[in-house]
Structure 1
Amino acid sequence: MNIIIETMPPYRIAYFREIGPYGKNNARTMGKLKEWAKSNHLFNEESIIFGIAQDNPETTKPENCRYDTCIVISNDFTVTDSFVNESIIVGGKYAVFIIDHTAEAVQKAWLDIFPALTAQGYQFDVARPIIERYVVKMVNNHQCEICVPVY
C-alpha cells in the first residue's frame, strides 16, 4: 500500500451532518451537500470535499454515529443557511492513501491502513479525525483519498 506523507493546511469548511449508521445515508448527505454547493457557486473542478466519520462504530452505537460531509469554503464566503454548519479542519501531518472510489476498495483500505502505517513507523494521531478526501479530478477517475493524521 503506497503512502504519501503530506502536510495539510487548515481548511474552513461548510458541512452537513448525518447521524445514524454509516453507509447509504452518507451518500445521500453527499448529494445534498453538492446540491447546496452548486446553488452557492462553490462546486467546480477545483472543489475539495471531505467525508469525516466522527465516531468509531466499534465503540459508538450505530444510531449515534456522526458523519460530516464537507466542502472547503473561502474565508470571505458567508454561510447564511441555518441547516449548514461551519468549522475548521485542523491541518497537520497526514498519511494519504489513494484508493479506488468503490465500497469494496474503501472497506479493504480500512483493514490495510493501520498495518501499513505501523510498518513504516508512523503513529495514528487520535486527536484528529481520519478524512476521506474527494477532489473532482480524482473522482472523475474513480479514485479518492483516505487521509490519516499521523505523527
Structure 2
Amino acid sequence: MEVRIERLPELRVAGIRVLGPYAESGPQAWKLLTPWIARRQVTSASTMFLGLCHDDPEITPPERIRYDAMVTVPEDFEPDDYVIVRVIRAREYAVAVHKGPYATLPWSWSAMYWEWLPASGRTPLGAPRMEAYLNDPGATPEDDLLTRLYLPLAPL
C-alpha cells in the first residue's frame, strides 16, 4: 500500500449521520443524502464526497457506530433542517487510495493501521477517519471504484 502524508485545509461540510455497522450505515446514509444533494444543487467540480467514520467496529457496539455522509460546501452555504454542518479542522493525514468494492475497505484500513502506521513513527489522532469517494458507484464497476482514505495524524 502506497501511503503519503498530506495536510488538508479546513473543510466545511454538510450531511447526515446514521448509526449502525459501516456496511449498512454508509449505503443508508448516502441513500438519504443523495436526493438532498440533487435538490439543493450543492455540488461543483471541487465538491468532495466524504464518509466520516467515528468508531472502531472492533470496540463499539454495532448499534452505536456513527457514520456521517458529507459533502463539502462553501462558506456562504445556508443549511436547512435536514443536514448538520460542521467544520473539519486543517490537519495532517496519512493518505492512501483503495481500489475496489466498498466491502473491501476494511482490509485497506487494516493495512494502514497494522502495517504502515507502526513503521511510520506517527501516531493517529483521536478524530474521525475519512473516506473520499472519487467516482460514482452508480456508474462505475465495483472493481474500479476509487476511495481515498484519510487517517488523521497527531502533530509531531
TM-score interval w.r.t. the shorter chain?
0.7 to 0.9
- Tell me the residue number matched to 1:100: 99
Task: Give matches, 1:128-143, under 5 Å.
Answer: 128-136=127-135, 142-143=145-146
Q: Work out the percentage of aligned pairs sharing the same amino acid.
A: 25
Q: Distance in 2 between matches of 1:60 and 1:107?
A: 15
Task: Give matches, 1:37-52, under 5 Å.
Answer: 37-52=37-52
Q: Distance in 1 between matches of 2:102 and 2:15?
A: 22
Q: Distance in 2 between matches of 1:136 and 1:47?
A: 12
> Secondary structure in 1 aligned to 2:96?
strand
Instruction: Give the residue type in structure 2 aligned to 1:133.
Output: A
C-alpha distance after superposition, 1:41-85 (max 9, x if no partner): 1134432011012122222211111111111010101012x1211
TM-score, with length taken from structure 2: 0.85
C-alpha distance after superposition, 1:74-101 (max 9, x if no partner): 0101012x12111111120101011114
TM-score, with length taken from structure 1: 0.87
- Tell me the residue number matched to 2:109: 110
Task: Give matches, 1:1-151, under 5 Å.
Answer: 1-80=1-80, 82-114=81-113, 115-126=115-126, 128-136=127-135, 142-151=145-154
Q: After alignment, is 98-107 or 8-17 more displaced?
A: 98-107
Cα distance change of structure 1 residues 132 and 74 upon mapping to structure 2, 3 Å threshold: same
Two-structure CA RMSD over aligned residues (Å):
2.1
Cα distance change of structure 1 residues 101 and 75 upon mapping to structure 2, 3 Å threshold: farther
Q: Distance in 2 between matches of 1:147 and 1:15?
A: 18
C-alpha distance after superposition, 1:110-129 (max 9, x if no partner): 22011212212222112x21
C-alpha distance after superposition, 1:3-36 (max 9, x if no partner): 1211001111111110122212311211322221
Instruction: Give the residue type in structure 2 aligned to 1:145.
Output: R
* Structure 1: 5+ residue stretches without partners: none
